[in-house]
Structure 1
Amino acid sequence: MPTATDQFFADLAQRGEEPLLRGSSGSIRFDIGAKGHVQRWFVTIDHGTFAVSRRNQKAECSIEADTDVFENIVTGKDNAFAALLRGAIEADGDPELLLLFQRVFSGPSRTTHPTAAGRG
């Protein structure tokens, strides 16, 4: 059964152009797991269009994260940049790419719209 991480990268590979990243290009390598058991994904962004592979090559930004931490990021339970700031993930290279890529991760789930609270 695929993990949330596997599903995230599979969906990303099938995604069309991402309007929020239309002006962005670059490459990010994700190394997910523990030492000795790392799964790797290589993502290129070309003006908002993604290509995903399992290549092990140098990228403009590389991200290392524990499996559980990354699962929380792709499911919207955690924020990638916040995880970076608290040391839960490591980034090397251009951190702006991680900040841009944050836009394609799921946001936190909400049961109600924030402006709907207090209405009655």
Structure 2
Amino acid sequence: MTEATQQFFATLPARAPEVLRGPAMGTLRIDLTEGHRTEHWLVRMRPGVAEVGQGAEPGDATWYCSVDLFDRLATGRAQAIATTFRNESTFRGDVVLFLAFRRFFPSAPGTRDPREVAREHARWTR
């Protein structure tokens, strides 16, 4: 497992109050594969709370991806939904958990909120 992935999972509980505002409740199991080895992460989510652990227990949903891909997601170099559309990762179970979890990933480096860009543009045109 990469340092970025370890750090990502370590920060989830502290970031949960700002990220998990909706009604998502349940356990997402994340299976990270590298060669013939699989790491199992469990993220138990409820509004404002995320508990992280490791184990192969079943979850309400399971997301499968490679260690390398997850590293790119954790550093903002890939987007979770796009990777599932391209079949680089797969998912089964309660899709609400996946949609809630993806909000923990950072935006791509250099990405700016379009509302802030519009505000700046409005200041320039005055």
The answer to whether the superposition gives a TM-score over 0.5 is yes
Q: Is the 8 A contact 2:2 2:71 kept in 1?
A: no
Q: Is the 8 A contact 2:19 2:104 kept in 1?
A: no
TM-score between both structures, scaled by the size of structure 1: 0.84
1:52 alignment partner in structure 2: 52
Structure 1: runs of 5+ lacking an equivalent: none
Judged with a 3 Å threshold, the aligned counterparts in structure 2 of structure 1 residues 19 and 96 are, in CA distance, closer, same or farther, namely closer
Q: Is the 8 A contact 1:61 1:97 kept in 2?
A: yes
SS at match of 2:31: strand
Q: How many residues align?
A: 120
Q: Is the 8 A contact 1:4 1:75 kept in 2?
A: yes
TM-score between both structures, scaled by the size of structure 2: 0.80
Query: What's the CA shift for 1:56?
Result: 1.2
SS at match of 2:64: strand
Displacement over 4 Å in runs of 4+: none
Query: What's the CA shift for 1:68?
Result: 1.0
Judged with a 3 Å threshold, the aligned counterparts in structure 2 of structure 1 residues 88 and 40 are, in CA distance, closer, same or farther, namely same
SS at match of 1:6: helix
2:7 alignment partner in structure 1: 7
Amino acid at match of 1:54: Q
Structure 2: runs of 5+ lacking an equivalent: none
Query: What's the CA shift for 1:22?
Result: 4.4
Root mean square deviation, CA, Å: 2.5
Larger Rg: 2
Matches of 1:20 and 1:28, distance apart in 2: 13
- Residues 12-36 of structure 1, C-alpha deviations (whole Å, 9 max, x = no match): 1444523543432111001112242
Instruction: Give the % identical residues.
Output: 28
Q: Is the 8 A contact 1:25 1:48 kept in 2?
A: no
